[in-house]
Amino acid sequence: MICATTLQLKMLLIPVWASMLLGLLVGFVPVVGMEPTEGAKSDFDHTPNAEPLPSSSGSNCSQLTLKLEFSSKVVEHEYIIAFTGYFSAKARSLYISSALRNSGDRALEWHIVPRQNPASDFPSDFELVHIRQASPSSLLTLEDHPYIKRVTPQRKVFRMLKYVPSPEPAAPCNATRQSWQSSRPFRRTSLSLGSGFWHATGRHSSRRLLRAIPRHVAQILQADVLWQMGHTGSGVKVAVFDTGLSEKHPHFKNVKERTNWTNEKTLDDGLGHGTFVAGVIASMRECQGFAPDSELHIFRVFTNNQVSYTSWFLDAFNYAILKKIDVLNLSIGGPDFMDHPFVDKVWELTANRVIMVSAIGNDGPLYGTLNNPADQMDVIGVGGIDFEDNIARFSSRGMTTWELPGGYGRVKPDIVTYGSGVRGSGLKEGCRSLSGTSVASPVVAGAVTLLVSTVLNRELVNPASMKQALIASARRLPGVNMFEQGHGKLDLIRAYQILNSYKPQASLSPSYIDLTECPYMWPYCSQPIYYGGMPTIVNVTILNGMGVTGRIVDKPIWQPYLPQNGDHIDVAVSYSPVLWPWAGYLAVSISVAKKAASWEGVAQGHVMVTVASPAENDSEAGGELTSTVKLPIKVKIVATPPRCKRVLWDQYHNLRYPPGYFPRDNLRMKNDPLDWNGDHIHTNFRDMYQHLRSMGYFVEVLGAPITCFDASQYGTLLMVDSEEEYFPEEITKLRRDIDNGLSLIIFSDWYNTSVMRKVKFYDENTRQWWMPDTGGANVPALNDLISVWGMAFSDGLYEGDFTLADHDMYYASGCSIARFPEDGIVIAKNLKDQGLEVLKQETAVVEGVPILGLYQTPSDGGGRIALYGDSNCIDDSHRQKDCFWMLDALLQYTSYSMTPPSISLSHSRVAPPTGTERPLPQRLEGNHLYRYSKVLEPHLGDPKPRPLPACPHLSWAKPQPLNETAPSNLWKHQKLLSVDLDKVAVPNVRAYRPQVRPLSPGESGAWDIPGGIMPGRYNQEVGQTIPVFAFLGAMVVLSFFVVQLTKSKSKPKRRKPRIKRPTYLQQQQTMIGKTPGV
């Protein structure tokens, strides 16, 4: 019995010892998902001009957000001369010499600025020329040369990389050392990770299981599925335009070329940003990239001072075209979408089949903050989300603003992906986590590189087809509008399926218009349409996967569904005459037919568009490819609201950067000096718009002169932060409209010529002054508009906190009311003289500054006017305390003639100012507003108004009604034509990713190299060797115990000691057989 118990105990110990030995064996082998014992390092060179990455005790748990700020300045005396084609250096010099000789200016000094970079040996389409004292006539003479396309100033670009700790507490690292950084607190309650995580969106669930996230973004997006199929980016050339890369960085095995385009004599990365970006795309170990076998081409275009020039980018772009780059990542951007040489070169890049991926910007959550070139139609613009599928707070929001004021912005970003807490390569070795859209961009660039390598027929892959595949396969995030998420979250596997069954075709972005679908279709869904309202404009992007150039055949066709009341709406369509490169626009204007003036309901129809492109193979029928796409339209119509509920927003007189220097309305914001968000109700005045809609007002946008609207339809005209001048005809019409019952509310801003001269930029390197063209608002122009009623704003500049009607208020760089009718209501407050502080650095408080005025015009049935000297309290850009309550009170006054008692009976009410104390502000002498104005034109040194333009006239499409039922749900997973996802099956493979090669001894000392793996080599089969080693180890342990067990069974049983027997008994036992002694 004792022996049986002992044997059972041994059998029970076998699995225990086997487990222990297996753990020891596996401990010597790098396991997928584990880190080195000492953690990954985050080295950062402390160069004098670079901001170092803050150190932390646990780099794997560091919570850092990467903030990028951009600015650009004109370089004095340097000009980029763009040619009509590519010419040798000698030919370019001859053309410039010939053109300047014809200028007749004998004293003109000029020379070609040498550019020492790899592209200097090849023909180029531009030249950088230094021209001292260049006159306008000499520049015009240059542009008159038949081979010179354009002359533009050279621009100097500043990029500020700032690594800042996240304001939220970091999540602790868990037992498996998987780290995740979020833009909000995150609690881990489970380490379970199902295969469905990568497409899960748990945004609206009130209770959800929070899961720990794998640290490799490539694994999260299921790149391991494509790796298992043998796709690792092989044969794809990917370019990284950034801060460079060290030559012997251990994470990369296939760096094909490193080039330097800066004026620094180094190819290495002194900041770490370029290394991180390259690692996300193609790192082969530790922090695994998407395409480790791709060919990396490193373009160093930023110095350690974080400075670049437009000419550096132009040369580097030309070189990328020569090298036939397939994918190009540009984790940079800025608001200057009118840097023509840069924008033109991006078009040329994509026209040469380079798929450009660019970050959308880190200026969120403000709307209208898209960066260029990500806002271009031919570029894949990428926004950021966190690992809980929330839009990252820092991610810039749409819409695009360069179509304003006459049109409407397009949907951007195109797609979103993980950009918060993503791990990438450190400066010298190891990994670190960063956040920002410059992190999300290489995630998409790496995914695109991997996708390109999966397509057998590479001719099918181009910037349009790749974008079509990405947006058609994207998974929409619930509760997020299209200007935040674009088409949704990157879905790598679905994109693979689409690409591998793709046939060249055209598609639309967005693919449908549904003004009833909220919140995705915000802001269109936020307000129904009605008869007599301004047409709703939807700017749709046409993507042409058939070729780099195309056209729309005949005209788009409008087909209303009669059973769904489609004949109650009118549709007008304008479009690009030529689709190039790979894209164009389709502007759809929707209005309500007269017969539906008192009708309420839903109307549907669709627009049919046929796109044609030249066939690359002329043997195809007609030598042309065609594709017909359908744009479904669904709108909600209501009866025309009463006049008092309708507010008209003046967009036509708002100007923004670019192209001119229009300063911020709040001078305290020194790090953000430009007014570049569009000043639109759907960008930086979004919160105000939402508030007005919640109060029952209907807000429309005027994108044309004041002469182009019927004032009898509106209760109030709202002018906010106007920088534009006014046509004389506009001033006359507005006076007549107000006499007939239209009311006016004006929110002004500061304007002081002395302060404008003070806040001009001075570049120490280029000795170039950059003078603002107006103040926060164009006060002299506003004064011309309201002078007939005895009103005017001053050039005073004030700020401060105060209380009005029991509401806390903040006056941020506003002006005061200088003149007001004596029978009006004026509110004054004690404020600080900010102008004195800016000019003389002195502080003074001014008592009784008039800031708010209300006035009823004397004419019978006349309208009312309200003036306020600061717009920052309704502007989302830098608002500290909102004054929406005051806007409500002013609209009650202007729309219903109800004077708010809190204002009329206020203790702050004072006698209206007469304006005799100081002269009214005058326009800045020598300003260049005429260069950017829609109203002014140059005239003998004294700009004058242009002729009044004609009002926009829409040509309504002739309907072709359909007597059939429209679909009820316009959005599905958008399937491209001829694409059947079922035909491209993804193999049912186990979760797998290539094993990352550990650092060799002497590099980090963290892991040993498994046998058979050569240093610097990438072995896809390494991951499969781990279970083999484990199995062999278990077999050895099991064999050992089996042998021991066998030996124990072959031995006789031991006996207890006995009493010595008599001799005769011993002799008898000896004859039987010998027994072992005890």
155 Rama sector, left if φ>0, alpha if ψ -120 to 50, beta otherwise: beta
Q: Greater confidence, 86 or 50?
A: 86
Query: Does the pLDDT value for residue 804 go beyond 80?
Result: yes
| Secondary structure (3-state) at 700 | strand
Lowest mean pLDDT among 63-67, 474-478, 940-944: 63-67
Q: Where are the alpha helices (DSSP H) in 378-486?
A: 437-452, 463-473, 482-485
Q: Please answer whether residues 382 and 356 qualify as being in contact, where contact means their C-beta atoms are separated by less than 8 angstroms.
A: no
Q: Measured between alpha carbons, how far is 523 from 539 in angstroms, rounded to an integer?
A: 13
Query: Does the pLDDT value for residue 52 go beyond 70?
Result: no
Whether a cis peptide bond, with omega within 30° of 0, leads into 581 is yes
Share of the chain above pLDDT 90, in %: 60
Q: Measured between alpha carbons, how far is 544 from 377 in angstroms, rounded to an integer?
A: 11
Q: Which helix (H) or strand (E) holds 131?
A: strand 124-132
Q: Measured between alpha carbons, how far is 244 from 530 in angstroms, rounded to an integer?
A: 56
Instruction: Show the tokens assigned to 631.
Output: 């744009």
pLDDT of residue 23: 39
pLDDT of residue 986: 67
Does the annotation mark 121 as catalytic? Answer: no
Q: Greater confidence, 609 or 162?
A: 609
Query: Does the pLDDT value for residue 1071 go beyond 70?
Result: no
Q: Greater confidence, 1046 or 1073?
A: 1046
The amino acid sitting at 1065 is L
Q: Measured between alpha carbons, how far is 776 from 771 in angstroms, rounded to an integer?
A: 13
Instruction: Show the tokens assigned to 456.
Output: 């057998």
Lowest mean pLDDT among 129-133, 841-845, 869-873, 1043-1047: 1043-1047
Q: What average pLDDT score do residues 1005-1032 get?
A: 43
Does the annotation mark 433 as catalytic? Answer: no
Q: Measured between alpha carbons, how far is 128 from 78 in angstroms, rounded to an integer?
A: 7
Q: What are phi and psi of 380, to 5 degrees?
A: -85, 105
pLDDT of residue 988: 59
Q: What average pLDDT score do residues 311-329 get?
A: 95
Confidence of residue 488 (pLDDT cuts 50, 70, 90): very high
pLDDT of residue 104: 67
Angle at 261 between CA 255 and CA 264, to 5 degrees: 105
Q: Measured between alpha carbons, how far is 164 from 52 in angstroms, rounded to an integer?
A: 10
pLDDT of residue 76: 79
**pLDDT single digits (tens) 266-305:** 999 999 999 999 999 999 988 999 999 999 999 999 988 8
Q: Select, from the ranges 402-416, 640-654, 665-679, the one with the highest average predicted confidence (pLDDT).
A: 640-654
Confidence of residue 99 (pLDDT cuts 50, 70, 90): confident
Does the annotation mark 242 as catalytic? Answer: yes
- Cα 1063 off chain centre by: 105
pLDDT of residue 1056: 46
**pLDDT single digits (tens) 873-898:** 999 998 999 999 999 999 999 999 99
Q: What average pLDDT score do residues 244-273 get?
A: 94
Query: Does the pLDDT value for residue 162 go beyond 70?
Result: no
The active-site residue, picked from 242, 375, 389, 570, is 242
pLDDT of residue 970: 83
**pLDDT single digits (tens) 374-388:** 999 999 999 999 999
Q: Greater confidence, 71 or 702?
A: 702
pLDDT of residue 656: 85
Q: Greater confidence, 12 or 389?
A: 389
Q: What average pLDDT score do residues 523-544 get?
A: 96
The active-site residue, picked from 438, 453, 589, 871, is 438
Query: Does the pLDDT value for residue 872 go beyond 80?
Result: yes
pLDDT of residue 412: 95
Q: Measured between alpha carbons, how far is 544 from 464 in angstroms, rounded to an integer?
A: 6
CA-only gyration radius of the chain, Å = 35
pLDDT of residue 861: 92
pTM: 0.79
| Secondary structure (3-state) at 841 | coil
Query: Does the pLDDT value for residue 786 go beyond 80?
Result: yes
**pLDDT single digits (tens) 809-821:** 999 999 999 999 9
pLDDT of residue 182: 28
Lowest mean pLDDT among 96-110, 393-407, 487-501: 96-110
Q: What average pLDDT score do residues 1017-1032 get?
A: 52
Query: Does the pLDDT value for residue 60 go beyond 90?
Result: no
Query: Does the pLDDT value for residue 920 go beyond 50?
Result: yes
Strand intervals (E) in 728-844: 743-747, 761-763, 768-770, 792-793, 798-804, 807-814, 817-819, 825-833
- Computed over every residue of the chain, the mean pLDDT equals 81
The active-site residue, picked from 216, 251, 273, 682, is 273
Instruction: Show the tokens assigned to 951.
Output: 């009002």
Confidence of residue 923 (pLDDT cuts 50, 70, 90): very high
Q: Measured between alpha carbons, how far is 371 from 334 in angstroms, rounded to an integer?
A: 5
How does DSSP classify residue 114? P
